[in-house]
Structure 1
Amino acid sequence: MSRSIRLLHLLQHLREQRYPVTAQRLAEHLQISVRSVYRDIESLRDQGVNIEGSVGVGFQLKENFLLPPMSLDESEIEAMYLALQWAKSIPDQALQQASHSVLSKLRAVLPQRKQEFLNDTYLKSIHSWIDVDQTVVEQVRIAIRLQTKIQIDYIDEQKQISHRQLWPFALGYFNDKMLLAAWCELREDFRNFRLDRIQTLILTEQVYPQFKRHLFQQWCQKEFSNS
């Protein structure tokens, strides 16, 4: 990691903290030495970043460096907060971490009065999710993003295991479970698969022959026509 990138990561991490954080914790987060943290803090200060604190006490960013205030009303703030709370609850570690990061960035760009409103917001999204293998979740999202085929061993409601090659194009979050929408080469039709029932998954490098948006449109037509 270059030093300029490291400084950006340090600045972002300080933005995410509501209380002073020690140099030791910063060093562990950035995987650098404590001495490097002190040097980087001084470099940011030299560039005009208002970082308060000292050795043994901890450091805190006292103003939003280079970030203009964001114009959101109270209902918009509550909507974003509730959506992020929901995203933080789903069994997907990458999206949980991303939701936490987005919430921290939202706090950083809001004016002081709106920050106080956000900190006093207590809307909660309560969900109980079925456990899912995090490797499966990550590989499914990668496959959808890259539009590549996956191979899975899937166990159905009758406890029968089948081997499938799929074209995954959408991932849905329904009540307590995550559902994958895909074209199934075995059935030659669209099928929905619960992620918690996928026993094994192989992410291939083979791009499937249609755009995922076209597959999604066809899937919607089929689902709505059957409802």
Structure 2
Amino acid sequence: MRRADRLFDVIQVLRTARKPVTAAALAEELEVTVRTIYRDVATLQARRVPIEGAPGLGYVLRKGFDLPPLMFTIDEIEAIAVGARMVQRVRDSELQHAAARVLDKVTVVLPESLRGHVADAPVYVSRGDAVAPKVDMAQMRAAIRDRRKLRIGYVDEKGHRTRRTIWPLAMAYYVDVSLVGAWCELRKDLRNFRVERIASSRMLAARFQDHNGKLLAEWLALPKERPPSRV
């Protein structure tokens, strides 16, 4: 591991810690010696990273400190590039635009020598076979975040049409299809709705309750290897 990457990892561990982290714990986490951790912490402190503490007592990172966005490893840069390209598969135009903006922002702040790893990453991601949805995917994701009910018109594989009020819990993205996982008021059960079969969708003012995330936990426990839609 490059030293610059290790210094980054020291900061990351301290940022997420809820209590002081000893040099021994950091050394075990990063697979280096305690002496190396002492040197790394001293280097970071000399660079004005607000790490407080002392050997034997543990270290904490003062709240409010943030990392500049250019501190990515090459693997992380390529992960961003691949992830942004994979978003093209989900046929969600707002997510696609957001992914493009992420790539632009990352590219701008990177050193010149690393920009090619984003703009010209040697990877190819197929567009997949998902059908473009007829409804606003951004609205569906907003309903999931805000726990707002949706009134949808749904067409099953036999062409039968129904009107449903659903409690949208999550999105599931596959290469060839995207699903909305929801509680269906009509069926009184969890259901997966294929987004390309949702003919219409309207967000309602009414909100739903998912106490302690129980419904979401039940949905997450369902088999996820390309589950069929259930109507």
Distance 1:94 1:111 in 2: 28
- Aligned AA (2:209): P
Deviation of 1:138 after TM superposition, in Å, equals 2.4
Matches within 5 A, 1:65-144: 68=68, 70-126=70-126, 127-133=128-134, 135-144=135-144
Residue in 2 that maps onto 1:208: 208
Note if contact 1:88-1:100 (Cα within 8 Å) is conserved in structure 2. Answer: no
The whole-number CA distance in structure 2 between the counterparts of 1:87 and 1:222 is: 24
> Is the 1:88–1:97 Cα contact (8 Å) retained in structure 2?
no
Corresponding residue of 1:23: none
What are the equivalent positions in structure 2 for 1:1-227 lying under 5 Å apart? 68=68, 70-126=70-126, 127-133=128-134, 135-211=135-211, 213-223=213-223
Shift of 1:178: 1.0
Q: Structure 1 212/101 Cα, relative in aligned 2: closer, same or farther at 3 Å? A: farther
CA distance in 1, matches of 2:222, 2:133: 27
Distance between the aligned counterparts of 1:104 and 1:186, measured in 2? Answer: 44
Gapped runs of 5+ residues in structure 2?
A: 1-66
For 1:78 and 1:150, the matched residues in 2 are separated by 37
Cα 1:208–1:69, aligned 2, differ >3 Å: closer, same or farther?
closer
- The answer to whether the Cα contact below 8 Å between 2:103 and 2:118 also exists between their aligned partners in 1 is no
Structure 1 residue matching 2:150: 3-state secondary structure: strand
Provide TM-score, normalisation by structure 2: 0.63
The 10-residue stretch of structure 1 (121-130 or 98-107) with the greater mean CA deviation from structure 2: 121-130
Is residue 173–residue 179 contact of structure 1 (8 Å, CA) maintained in 2? Answer: yes
Q: CA deviation at 1:212?
A: 8.3
Distance (Å, rounded) in 1 between the aligned partners of 2:132 and 2:68: 40
**Cα deviation code 1:103-147 (max 9, x no counterpart):** 0011112122111333331212102321212x4312211211210
Cα displacement (A) at 1:69: 6.2
- Residues 183 and 189, structure 2, Cα contact 8 Å, conserved in 1: yes
RMSD (CA atoms): 2.2
2:115 corresponds to which letter in structure 1? Q
Aligned length: 158
The alpha-carbon distance between structure 1 residues 100 and 212, as it changes in their structure 2 partners (threshold 3 A), is farther
Query: Are the aligned partners of 2:131 and 2:176 in contact in 1 as well (CA < 8 Å)?
Result: yes
* Paired position in structure 1 for 2:7: none
